[in-house]
Structure 1
Amino acid sequence: MMQIVIIGVSGCGKTTVGQTLAKKLNLPFRDADEFHSTTNKEKMSRGQALTDEDRIPWLLAIHQYMQNLESENKDGVVTCSGLKKMYRQILLEGVETKDSHCQSISKKCLNKKSVLFVLLHGKQETLLKRLECRKDHFMPASLLPSQLATLEFPDETEHFITIDVDNTVEEMVSEIIKTLETS
């Protein structure tokens, strides 16, 4: 059983890669934007970056979705910016915590090895061009620098891979599938 969480800044291709991967693997897909409150979407559309306090209920909602899949023994693909290590911990543990490890398996704590974080990352110029081409999205290109400044790259304590967004969608999806087959 595997939960695949596609993470990265806005414009990196999380939704496109996530949808393509889910379709190829015949898995359910959910986009993180579906979990945002109207208030969060309005704030971002005004060019205001979300605070940690704004993000926590959103992250908990995504965690709950993942928890539901795990409790039904189902795999799934979900997107989430997951920019900070703390955010990824909330996705795994379901609570805001400073502890980097689940001390025990509780109802809320997902199996860390069954969650693969896939960081889509690329050059700021590439990401900016993608954001500027978007139509009808609440996240403006003006927030990209704050997202890049917030990004904390995953480390050896996390189950993750990093994929360059300069690759094609098919190349990125193939790389994710190869990782899944070998893990």
Structure 2
Amino acid sequence: MQAPTKISAIIVMGVSGSGKSTIAAALAKHIGFACEDGDSYHPASNVAKMHAGTPLTDEDRWPWLQAIADDIDRRAATGRPFVVSCSALKRAYRDVLVHGRPDVRLVYLKGTRDLIAERLTLRKGHFMPASLLDSQFATIEEPTVDENVVVVDIDAPVDRIVATIADRLRMSPEPGSLAS
């Protein structure tokens, strides 16, 4: 039996409003990894388009996805594991991010359109308007088992979602965290 691969990066993915940033931050704290919000890798032109309610095209996304993939490689090379939130809606996007690395894991936050729409209406100050939710659901290609993915239902409290993810990834809480 082969030893499990050490995890260098965990990509928390899903449509806008699924809780990616919240879960990524809580998971990172729980397991003692650094955390990055995938939105911070977007160029200003992408943020402006989304803020205006214009869906991004694949051409808009490729440089953003490659910037995240490059950061995964840099951090893995220096032994600095991290959790990053990123919508990663299409298989082709996830292929760019993971690029065959067995040390990169996907966590898909899955929820109903109604639940996510409700959450989006409560969210303040985010550049991604609720009006783009339908385009996100039209675009998403749910990950398949061959993508080494953990699928988690988002209709639960944050601490339960994080504990479920950590358990499925076989990762222990960081000493001193609330779960230890």
Shift, 1:73, TM fit: 2.2
Corresponding residue number in structure 2 for 1:119: 108
1:56 to 30, 55, 62: 62
SS in 1 for 2:145: coil
SS in 2 for 1:5: strand
Is 2:23 aligned against 1:34? no
Question: Where do 5+ consecutive residues of structure 1 fail to align?
Answer: 94-101, 103-110
User: Could you report, residue by residue, the CA deviation over 1:72-129 in whole angstroms, capped at 9, with x for unpaired residues?
Assistant: 1232100100000000001022xxxxxxxx5xxxxxxxx2x21110000111111001
SS in 2 for 1:181: coil
Is 2:12 aligned against 1:6? yes
Q: What RMSD in Å do the two structures reach over aligned CA positions?
A: 1.1
Instruction: Using the aligned pairs only, state the percent identity.
Output: 41
User: Could you report, residue by residue, the CA deviation over 1:36-80 in whole angstroms, capped at 9, with x for unpaired residues?
Assistant: 111100001111000000000000010011111111123210010
4+ aligned runs moved over 6 Å, structure 1: none
1:17 to 17, 23, 45: 23
1:65 to 60, 63, 71: 71
Is 2:53 aligned against 1:47? yes
Is 2:73 aligned against 1:84? no
Residue type of the alignment partner of 1:146 = S
Task: Return the TM-score normalized by structure 1.
Answer: 0.87
Residue type of the alignment partner of 1:176 = I
| Aligned counterparts of 1:143 and 1:125: Cα–Cα separation in 2 | 14
Residue type of the alignment partner of 1:141 = A
| Aligned counterparts of 2:90 and 2:80: Cα–Cα separation in 1 | 26
User: Could you report, residue by residue, the CA deviation over 1:153-176 in whole angstroms, capped at 9, with x for unpaired residues?
Assistant: 111320101111101111110011
| Aligned counterparts of 1:71 and 1:122: Cα–Cα separation in 2 | 34
Aligned pairs, number:
165
Residue type of the alignment partner of 2:94 = R
Corresponding residue number in structure 2 for 1:105: none
SS in 2 for 1:67: helix
Corresponding residue number in structure 1 for 2:177: none
User: Could you report, residue by residue, the CA deviation over 1:113-155 in whole angstroms, capped at 9, with x for unpaired residues?
Assistant: 2111000011111100111111111100000000011000111
